[in-house]
Amino acid sequence: MKRLQKTRILKYSISSCLLVGLLLGSNILTAQDNPGFLVDKIVAKVDNYIVLKSELEGTYQNYLAEGNPASAEAKCGLLNRLIVNKLMVAKAEIDSVVVTDEQVDQNTARRMQMILQSSGNSPEELERAYGKTMNEIRLDLRDQIREQMLGGEMTQIITKSISVTPSEVRRFYNKIPEDSLPFYSSDVEVAQIVRVAKISEAQKEAVKQKLRDIRERILRGENFNDLAKQFSEDPSAQMNGGEMGFVGRGAMVSAYEATAFKLRKGEISQPFESAFGFHIMQLIDRRGNEYNSRHILISATPSEKDIIRTEKFLDSLRVKIVADSIDFQKAAKEYSDDPETKGQGGFFTDADGGTKISIKEIDPVVYFTIDTMKTGGISRPIRYRTDDGKDAVRILYFKTKLPPHQASQKEDWHRIQAAALAEKKDNALDKWFSKARKDVFISVDPEYNSCHLLE
């Protein structure tokens, strides 16, 4: 019942553990930076997987940063969640559950970019704080992300067949005391159609030619590392000169790895494309299935003409929607480039998949746009940058705005349904944990005996 009020510590919510926060929050201080800083230690072990004190403290700091009150109970709940996550990973290994290297690599690259952007730290500062190179940080983060993804896969396997009936939802709601029902601020329903500006072949060719020119400079004797620091858009290049260190198969995205295994030692590739942009690469050395390489990364960006072309497309689509020639939701599913919203007919959704979103949770840019619109209106094309940094244009549909209200079955059915389903899944995971813990070795530092985690 408390889950509906969003005050419960979610014992098994694997996805809510933000690894960016873990890295920055738990390890950014070293003993040299803070003489009173406690030396890290293992606080729990699940088979071959461990939970570090810094990991727990980092997660707890994230919890506090979200505005939650400090409490020993909260920290125990978070430690329990970390232990269950390790148990998920250990069981995934036993049950042969896998995630692909490409998925892990893509997530790792995004997280590395987020760390540098959101922390405000330069690569040099991060390396000093961690006492590791950017490549070592990336590999550590990759291991954490792999564990997180495996935990998520196990959670899906355990709970995928669980559902709730309307009568179960009503029983769940009726159990909540009236004075405990949450009060929601104004909710809105907003949808979007996004078009990422298509990069013209001319723009791509310009980037490839720039990389060819850089390659020629290297072949004429200029230093690869110096040119990587000057031109590469890989954030780590400022510290490592583009050198990635020895890695095994699966550590890099497929296009990069494939190129590395085609090159001879010392050879420099022609420009090639990956999900991150265009590269040139030099193979430094290879030993078996491991290789060391250096690269220079430059991304192609759309020209002003490319963006204007995208605006014109969306403006034409808007005219058709306003004239009722096509429904907004149908147009979103057919034309939108945003994978997060297109499947929902363009609608933004909350964490539970509902389309009614609190104005406190909606993107500020979106909020300030709809604040000048009438409900039912569709905005003119608006330029913006996607979460992964691409130039894009979108139109917004402001469907409805609901006044502040106390939770009710009529207005908040989806939220109540999600809360009832989450409680049912938690019960299933409780049963799974009780059974699965017998298959692995679990130990917890006596410092946390008061949490009663293994009882």
Residues of the chain with pLDDT > 70, as a percent, come to: 90
How far is Cα of residue 53 from the mean position of the Cα atoms in its chain?
Answer: 23
Return the pLDDT at 121.
65
The single residue listed with the structure tokens 């040099």 is 124
Higher pLDDT, 363 or 134: 363
pLDDT recorded at residue 183: 86
Task: Quickly list DSSP for 398-428.
Answer: EEEEEPPEE--TTT-HHHHHHHHHHHHHHHH
Q: Using an 8 Å Cβ cutoff, are 78 and 9 in contact? A: yes
Fold of 183-198+303-406: Chitinase A; domain 3 (3.10.50)
Task: Among 127-131, 181-185, 264-268, name the most confident range.
Answer: 264-268
Residue 27 has pLDDT above 60, yes or no: no
Predicted pLDDT of residue 105 = 83
pLDDT at 14: 29
The CB density around residue 75, as the number of other CB atoms within 10 Å, is 19
Residue 280 confidence class, pLDDT cut points 50, 70, 90: very high
Q: Around Cβ 120, how many Cβ atoms within 10 Å?
A: 7
pLDDT mean over 207-212? 96
Q: Select the more confidently predicted residue: 178 or 283.
A: 283
Helix (H) or strand (E) holding 43: strand 42-46
pLDDT of 412 reads 87
Q: Which CATH code of 3.40.50.2000, 3.40.1190.20, 3.10.50.40, 2.170.190.11 fits the domain covering 201-298?
A: 3.10.50.40
Q: What's the pLDDT score for residue 93?
A: 84
Confidence tier at 213 by pLDDT (50, 70, 90) = very high
Question: According to CATH, where is 3.10.50.40 located in the chain?
Answer: 183-198+303-406, 201-298
pLDDT tens by residue, 40-97: 899 999 988 899 998 899 889 988 988 889 999 999 999 988 998 889 888 888 888 8
Q: Residue 400's pLDDT is what?
A: 93
Copy the structure tokens of residue 192: 């979007």
Report whether pLDDT(1) > 50.
Answer: no
Neighbours of 338 (CB within 10 A): 19
Q: How many CA atoms lie within 13 A of 436 on its CB side?
A: 24
**pLDDT tens-digit readout, 296-329:** 999 999 999 999 999 999 999 999 999 999 999 9
Q: Look-up: residue for tokens 């070795």?
A: 441
pLDDT at 7 over 60: no
User: Quick check: 261 pLDDT over 90?
Assistant: yes
Q: Rounded mean pLDDT of 228-233? A: 93
Task: Specify the domain boundaries for CATH 1.10.4030.10 within the chain.
Answer: 2-171+410-451
**Per mean pLDDT, which of 17-26, 138-147, 295-304 is the most reliable?**
295-304
Query: Is the pLDDT assigned to residue 173 strictly greater than 90?
Result: yes
- Model confidence pLDDT, tens digit, residues 374-394: 999 999 999 999 887 889 999
- The answer to whether residue 3 scores a pLDDT higher than 60 is no
- pLDDT of 397 reads 97
Please give the residue that has the higher pLDDT: either 39 or 114. Answer: 114
Tens digits of per-residue pLDDT, 88-111?
888 888 888 888 887 888 788 878
Correct CATH for 2-171+410-451 of 3.40.50.300, 3.90.1150.10, 1.10.4030.10, 3.30.160.110: 1.10.4030.10
